[in-house]
Amino acid sequence: MKENNKFKVLFKTNKNSFMPFFTLGDPDFESSFNLIKSAIDAGADCLELGIPFSDPIADGPTNQRSMERALRAGMNFESCLKLIRKIRDYAPSLPMGLLLYYNMIYHRGLEQSLKDLAVAGVDAIVCGDLPIEEGELFDQLCEKNKIAPVYIIAPNTPDLRALEIFKKSSDAYAYILSGLGVTGVKDQVAPETILRVQHLRKLDPSARMMVGFGISKPEQVKIIWEAGANGAIVGSYFSNLIEKNLGDLNKAQNLIKKFIEEL
């Protein structure tokens, strides 16, 4: 992986990073671009983008409905590539990670899919259903296409396995789950999440960690930063804003901007 990988550049210059998540095409192609653009304009440090899928096993009800809206609007892999290219053209230097399910790129053709995603401008990919034991070919093709593979560390991941995941995810970041279960808004950061992040930081002081699932408030993001993570990911909160303001997406854009500007 080249040293100019956008996530490596980000973590060299930015101690605390914020990564909003958006489902590509929610609620439609153009509206999705405008919503993501509002997050970029507000100062998001990087993006996590999700390709809508009919069986999103790691996502809770809010993000499931977000993906359903995108699918109903006609989004598919090809239109997602088009939207990614449009986002990349708008923000040439912004790190972009992709959250998807392995079945999608395996079914389409792994090598061609990763090549197309790299050309579109994707810097990193996390497959929510791909364990490290099954990721050898994925890792090889990611390296070939200069995409950083990202793997997930759960609350019950043993230390030795966490160290292996840190190594495999070293070109971008390891995805740290804030708790067991699926995505969704939570009222507070659990004490065990803070202890977990602190423990992982001691386990590997140089690891790059982005914490996701359940984070929905600026003060929660700050708690995650203070615990020792490099960044925090917020997704369901934004999906919920979109859902509640489908009749007035300008309001959703303004609320997204307000959230990010506060950070």
Catalytic residue among 45, 59, 123, 171: 59
Q: Please indicate whether residue 55 is annotated as part of the active site.
A: no
Instruction: Give the contacts of 136 (CB within 8 A, at least 6 positions apart).
Output: none
Kindly state the helix (H) or strand (E) to which residue 197 belongs, with its residue range. Answer: helix 191-203
Supply the DSSP string of 92-122, one letter for each residue: TTS-EEEEE-HHHHHHH-HHHHHHHHHHHT-
For residues 80 and 106, is the Cβ–Cβ distance under 8 A?
Answer: no
Q: What is d(CA 168, CA 155) in angstroms, rounded to the nearest whole number?
A: 18
Report which DSSP code applies to 209. Answer: E
Q: Which of 96, 102, 72 is nearest to 84 (CA)?
A: 96
Rg (CA), the chain: 17
Q: CA torsion, points 248, 251, 256, 258, in degrees to nearest 10?
A: 180
Q: Please indicate whether residue 48 is annotated as part of the active site.
A: yes
Q: What is d(CA 76, CA 62) in angstroms, rounded to the nearest whole number?
A: 20
Residue 13 identity (one-letter amino acid): T
Q: Which of 74, 78, 70, 71 is nearest to 36 (CA)?
A: 70
Other C-beta atoms closer than 10 Å to the C-beta of 205 total 8
Catalytic residue among 48, 116, 123, 171: 48
Q: Name the residues annotated as catalytic.
A: 48, 59
